[in-house]
Amino acid sequence: MRTFAETADRIAATTKKLEKTALLAKYLKSAPIEEAAVAAVFFSGRAFPMWEETTLQVGGTLLWRIVEELSGRSDLELTAAYREHGDLGAVAGAVLPGGTETQSAPSKIRLIFREIAAVRGPAAKAVLVRKLLSQVSPLEAKYIVKIMTGDLRIGLKEGLVEEAIAKAFGGRVKDVQRANMLLGDIGETLRLAAEGRLAEARMRLFHPIGFMLASPAESAEDALSYFQNAWVEDKYDGIRAQAHCSGETVRFFSRTRDEITESFPELPDALAGLPQDVILDGEIVAWSYLDDETPTDDGDAKTENVERRVPAMSGVEGPSPVLLKEETGRALPFSALQQRLGRKKVSEQLMREVPVAYLVFDVLYAGGELVMDRPLRERARILDELLKTRTINHEGREGTRRKTKANPAITQSNLAFDPECLPPTQIIRAPVFQASSPEALNKLFDDAQARGNEGLMIKDPESPYTPGRRGKSWLKLKRELATLDVVVTAVEYGHGKRIGVLSDYTFAVRDGDRLLNIGKAYSGLTDIEIAEMTKWFLDHTIEDQGFRRTVEPKVVLEVAFNNIMKSDRHSSGYALRFPRIVRLRPDKLPEEADTTQRVEDIFQKQGG
C-alpha cells in the first residue's frame, strides 16, 4: 500500500493527463497482478468493484471521530486541518502518528475492508477502522481514508485508469473500456488485459452495466441541429431501471447500479418467462389507471382499447409501428412514485395505492447477443418483437399477469401479497414518434406535457447504445428549460417551524474535480423529506459550525430558477435567481451533477 500511496501522491502532483496515466501504468505493471487488480479498483475511488453491492457503510462523522481520537487533536485543530487540506484523507495523512505495520499490500487492505463491510453497526465498524488506521503509515492512512470516503481527489477518473491499463499491458483503450463496461470490474479487466484475454470479457447477467445518458437540448431547433430525423419518446418522470431477465428470475437495477427489485415486487413477475435472456432499459413510473379501469354501470371494467399506429414521417423509414393503447392509463409525476422508493418491504396497500409501470425503451442484450453496438433503429425492432405479447400486461389480454412463481430475486417476505388482488402491472413499450421539423417536435412536446410527462427524449435512430456516456445521440427537452442538478455541500437549520431541522441547503456544481457553490435554497421538499435529510446530514457532517454544517457532498438535488446572474457571492462566480428545489435526485451520483460549463451555457443563452 505504500507504493500505491506514493504513486497516488505523484499522480496528484501533476495536472497533465498523460503523465498521470504514465505514472499509473508504471505502477500497475510493476506490481504483482493480484495486487495491481485490487489497486486498479482503489484508484477508481472504490473499495470494491463497481458491480458488487458491498459497501463499507462508514460515514464521514465516524471517520472524523476516529482520526480525532488517534491523532489526539482537538475538534478545533482538526477543523483547521480540514480547512487547510480540504478532505478528510489528507487530514488523516497530516495528523495521524502512524503505526509499525510494514506489510499492508492492497489485497490485505481489501480483506480488512471486507471485514468492515461485513460487521454491523458503527461501533463494531469503528473498532476495525481504528485498528487499521493505527497500524499503517500516515501516507497509507491518507489514501485508505480517501478510498473509504469514495473519492481519491487526485484528478484520476476511471477513464484514466482504463487508459493506464491499456498502456501497461499493451491492449487497445477501446477494448479495455469495453471489457470494463461488460464486467463492471476494473480489477478483473486488468487481469484479462495482463493475460491478453480482453476479448473474452462477456456480458454477465445480473451484473448491472452503465446507462446511456442524455444531454440537455435548449429548444426544438437546438435538438434538431444534432440529427435531422429524430426519434422521439415522452420523457417519463420516474426512475431509470435496467431489467435483467433470465427465465423466471428478473432483477431491476438503478442508475447507481443498486438492486431495486425489492421496492417493486410486482414488476419481476410481469417480465418473468420471456423466451430469451435479456437486459432491458426503461423507466419505472407511478401509474394511474384511467378509463379502461373505470367500472362501467354493470360493474365490469371497460376493456376496449384504441390502437394507434405511429405515422412514419417525411418518407424516412420509421420506427417499427408501436401500438399505443391510449386508454390504459398514464404516468404520474415523480412525487407520486417517491413513496415507493428505497423500501425493502412494500405493503399490499402501498402497491394498490401507488401502482407502477415499467416503460421500456431500449434493449442491450437479447438471446445471448450483446446488441448495444447496433443502431437504435435495430434495437427498437428487437425490443418490439420481445415485448409483443407484453406491451400491455393487463387482465384478460394476451400477455396478462402470470401466476407468481418464486422469483429468487424476491425475498419471501416480499411475496406476502396475493398478486391476483392487485391492480395489473404494466410492462409498456415506450411509444416512439418521429419529428424532422421544430414544429413537429414542439407539437410532440405539448402532447407529452398534456399526457402529464416531463418533456421529450430525442434520439438518433442511427446511434449505438453507449453505456455511461453522455453524448449527443440522446437529447432531453424538459419542461423548465433551466433546471440544474446540483450537489449539497452545506446545510443550515431553518427558521420558524423548521428551527429544529436542517432545511436550508447550499449547493454546488462541478468544475473538473472541484465543487463550486452556486446557490442556496430554503424549501421545496416535504416535511418528511426534510426530516429524513436532516438525519442523513447529521450522520454525514464533515464540519459542525453550530448553525451550519459542511456535509459530505453526496446528495444531488434538482433546482429550478428564473435565471442565472454573475455574482461573487458563491465560489462558482454565479448565482441563481429565485432558486427552488424541485426534488431530490437519489438516483444520481454527485459526479453526474451539472457543471460550471453548463451554467455558463445557460447564462449565455439567456442573453448574459
Distance from C-alpha of 342 to C-alpha of 445, rounded to nearest angstrom: 31
Catalytic: which of 20, 167, 235, 588?
A: 235
- Give the residue at shortest CB distance from ligand AMP: 240
Closest CB to ligand AMP among residues 210, 419? 210
Minimal distance in Å, beta carbon 331 to ligand AMP?
9
Other Cβ atoms within 10 Å of 195 Cβ, number: 11
What is residue 29's DSSP assignment? H
Closest CB to ligand AMP among residues 90, 278? 278
Minimal distance in Å, beta carbon 548 to ligand AMP?
29
Continuous segment of H or E residues that includes residue 372 = none
Phi-psi region of 206 (alpha: psi -120 to 50; beta: other; left: phi over 0): left
Closest CB to ligand AMP among residues 24, 428? 428
Phi-psi region of 216 (alpha: psi -120 to 50; beta: other; left: phi over 0): beta
User: What's the CA angle centered on 299, arms 415 and 290, to 5 degrees?
Assistant: 65
Task: Please list the alpha-helical segments (H only) found in 472-523.
Answer: none
Closest CB to ligand AMP among residues 390, 585? 585
All three cell numbers of 506, joined, read 447550499
Closest CB to ligand AMP among residues 233, 248? 233
Minimal distance in Å, beta carbon 106 to ligand AMP?
34
Minimal distance in Å, beta carbon 153 to ligand AMP?
25
* Site residues for ligand AMP per CB under 6 A: 214, 233, 235-236, 240, 283, 361, 430, 457, 476
**Contact between residue 67 and residue 78 where contact means Cβ atoms under 8 Å apart:** yes
**Contact between residue 587 and residue 239 where contact means Cβ atoms under 8 Å apart:** yes
All three cell numbers of 583, joined, read 426534488
Q: Is the dihedral of CA 236, 241, 245, 249 positive or negative?
A: negative
**Contact between residue 138 and residue 85 where contact means Cβ atoms under 8 Å apart:** no
Minimal distance in Å, beta carbon 470 to ligand AMP?
8
Q: H/E/C letters for each residue in 436-473?
A: CCHHHHHHHHHHHHHCCCCEEEEECCCCCCCCCCEEEE
Minimal distance in Å, beta carbon 191 to ligand AMP?
31
All three cell numbers of 323, joined, read 401500438
Residues forming a β-bridge with 232: 433, 458
Minimal distance in Å, beta carbon 253 to ligand AMP?
13
Residues forming a β-bridge with 240: 283
Closest CB to ligand AMP among residues 453, 506? 453
Closest CB to ligand AMP among residues 31, 239? 239
Q: Give the three-class secondary structure for 417.
A: coil
Is there a catalytic annotation at residue 325?
A: no
Catalytic residue numbers, as ranges: 235
